Amino acid sequence: MKEKQLSVLATTDFIATKILFLRGEKVLLDADLALLYGVETRVLNQAVKRNAGRFPADFMFELTREEFNDLMSQIVISKKGRGGRRKLPLAFTEQGVAMLSGILNSPRAIETNIAIMRTFVALRKLMETHKDLAAKIRQLEKKYDQRFKLVFDAIQKLIRQEKDAQPIGFKIGKAK
């Protein structure tokens, strides 16, 4: 790949599109990591298998058939027997991705890991910001609840009055 294409792959925005939420964890799939690291998926998985002790269940897990089928319907993954995957994908948590930096030791792997870690941090900050915003909105709702209730009651009263009001003007129709 060209240098410009490599830098595009390592951007926070691109990486964020590859992060999935599975089993209550933010994860990256082995194929997406292989793309980012510039290696084949099988090469990445072989390196992981050679260092299996570094990847406990909270760092990496294999998708179940059901999870994989759900993903196939959401994203484009080739069907078995048509040149696509033959094994269930591996999903790496943030800690698993950090551990990959210890077994994939190339300048690109280091650059990619830094970009991935920054993406996870940015997503965490974004989620915290939304929690803070939601809490502030709830506080405002409690504080101004009575005032808003008065406003909504007044609006509803006006709407009822408008329905009961007779239209202004002449009625055109048959004369009696």
Which stretches does DSSP call E strand in 30-134? 60-62, 90-92
Task: Give the C-alpha separation, 79 to 87, whole Å.
Answer: 11
Compute φ and ψ for 119, nearest 5 degrees.
-65, -45
pLDDT at position 46, please? Answer: 93
Task: Give the C-alpha separation, 133 to 126, whole Å.
Answer: 11
Task: Give the C-alpha separation, 2 to 9, whole Å.
Answer: 11
What are the boundaries of each domain within the chain?
Answer: 3-126
Q: State the Cα angle at 69 between 66 and 74, rounded to 5°.
A: 130
Given a contact cutoff of 8 angstroms between Cβ atoms, the answer to whether 75 and 32 are in contact is: no
Q: What share of the chain is helix, strand, coil (3-state, %, to 5)?
A: 65, 10, 30
Q: Work out the burial of residue 31: count CB atoms within 10 Å of its CB; fewer than 13 is exposed, 13-18 middle, 19 or more buried.
A: middle
Compute φ and ψ for 51, nearest 5 degrees.
-120, 40
Mean pLDDT value across residues 110-132: 83
Between the two ends of the chain, the Cα-to-Cα distance in Å is 87
Q: Categorise residue 24: left if φ over 0, alpha if ψ from -120 to 50, beta otherwise.
A: left
pLDDT at position 58, please? Answer: 93
Query: If residue 30 lies in a helix (H) or strand (E), which one and from where to where?
Result: helix 30-37
**Structure letter (DSSP) for residue 164:** H
Rank 29-38, 73-82, 137-146, 161-170 by mean pLDDT and report only the highest. Answer: 29-38
pTM metric for this prediction: 0.63
Mean pLDDT value across residues 112-121: 87
